[in-house]
Chain A
């Protein structure tokens, strides 16, 4: 039963456990009222579980003590996990899973002007792109990263901010009902690719140790030198950032292709239809 030890959290966080269980139970409750397809359920489950697993198992030990594993952890928290959750389109299901007081609270909040203004600001395409790329840059600034890896409060803030920002960004770009055109959403995904490639490449090509905290506190894998660790971490950021952007763009294009005949029919008057 050695593998069971892997499921013990390295640093247990009650808030992560609570939010994970709450989200999962809302989804299960909601599924009784709103039909979700099996692939949607799987995407939601895998997305949620992957975010839990990278923070609340022994995997977190390696993420704390090896730079490239830290990059993998952030890839799951900022990209893969939120991407899969959003892909399941769980908003209505989660809402349906709420008890009646919770529903009233959400509806009340959505009519509250300051909340509306905040949502409008946070989901503005330029703001969303700047926040998504800016958050990656911020936590990877050598001095910020140094303290974030030492101070457990900042470490948790970093992981929470990455996860929430990931959900917001992918929620804004992958959701065709979010009110933005496909062109705009594709442009947003294109816009976050170059900064990630740039930061990944800077980290990869830097010959000096940018993140000495891993050496100071010890590396999880003794066989990997500090520069090799840094290079692998840079490569992960470089490649997976671009990869997830492309995957998202393909999904949006597919959504559009599926909807396009009806879209042409309803949006343009007959005389302006292309090709007619």
Chain B
């Protein structure tokens, strides 16, 4: 019918346009990020999988950390800002988990494998938490593969720079190695503990 109204296509389109604009505005208004809740990423990112070297020089894979809730974070030891902040907040989070904290591992994967030797990584990780935090390194391909898997911004081969681009998110994996949560810097320790405890309880 509309195709026959060659001379006057306006009104229908105008109404449709107004409807679309309104719908868009309403949707945008309802879509404000929720405060006090962590981002649930279940089903959206692949399971934990890697083959790297730990800060004590051992070869480790995702299977090494089966049965643990893993906090995965990417950074480099010369970073002055995001990395120490994230690592110390993760260390400060553990007391909120009570005795379940023993089933948590904080994995710090270096984005600067040339500079961050296992010894340097070991010293760095144990500064924040000598029991739960572990530094991981590997060759450029291994690290790039892991970074790509979790959609982290990273360009390899800039090892001399202190200004490596990187992420601020901490990825949380359940004891089965499934990606479950994304921790933002602004999430409170209480909110993180509330979201992480059910994962720990499922570990049994």
Min CB distance, B18 to chain A, in Å?
9
Q: Are B153 and A217 in contact (CB under 8 A)?
A: yes
Q: Are B44 and A150 in contact (CB under 8 A)?
A: yes
Q: Are B45 and A125 in contact (CB under 8 A)?
A: no
What size tier do the contact residues of chain A reach? 35 or more
With A142-B32, A151-B45, A179-B3 as given contacts, are A219 and B13 in contact (CB-CB < 8 Å)? no
Of the 9-residue stretches B4-12, B62-70, B89-97, which lies at the interface with chain A?
A: B4-12
B16 within 8 A of partner (CB): yes
With A65-B153, A187-B10, A216-B168 as given contacts, are A198 and B27 in contact (CB-CB < 8 Å)? no
Q: Are B182 and A216 in contact (CB under 8 A)?
A: yes
Q: Are A212 and B33 in contact (CB under 8 A)?
A: yes
Alpha-carbon gap, A2 to B3, bound state (A): 54
Which of B13, B152, B155, B168 meets A126, CB within 8 Å? B13
Alpha-carbon gap, A63 to B151, bound state (A): 12
Q: Are B12 and A142 in contact (CB under 8 A)?
A: no
What size tier do the contact residues of chain B reach? 35 or more
Q: Are A149 and B151 in contact (CB under 8 A)?
A: yes
With A146-B39, A202-B28, A217-B151 as given contacts, are A191 and B13 in contact (CB-CB < 8 Å)? yes
Which of A130, A147, A184, A190 meets B20, CB within 8 Å? A130
Alpha-carbon gap, A65 to B155, bound state (A): 11
Which of B6, B44, B153 meets A219, CB within 8 Å? B153
Closest to A141 in B: B31
Q: Are B44 and A151 in contact (CB under 8 A)?
A: yes
7 pairs of residues in contact across A and B, judged by CB atoms under 8 Å: A64-B153, A126-B12, A129-B16, A134-B24, A194-B21, A195-B24, A217-B169
Minimum-distance CB pairs A-B, first 6: A218-B153, A216-B169, A65-B153, A181-B6, A218-B167, A151-B44
Which residues of B come within 8 Å of A, CB atoms?
2-3, 6-7, 9-10, 12-14, 16-17, 19-21, 23-25, 27-28, 31-33, 39, 41, 44-45, 148, 150-155, 163, 165-169, 182, 184
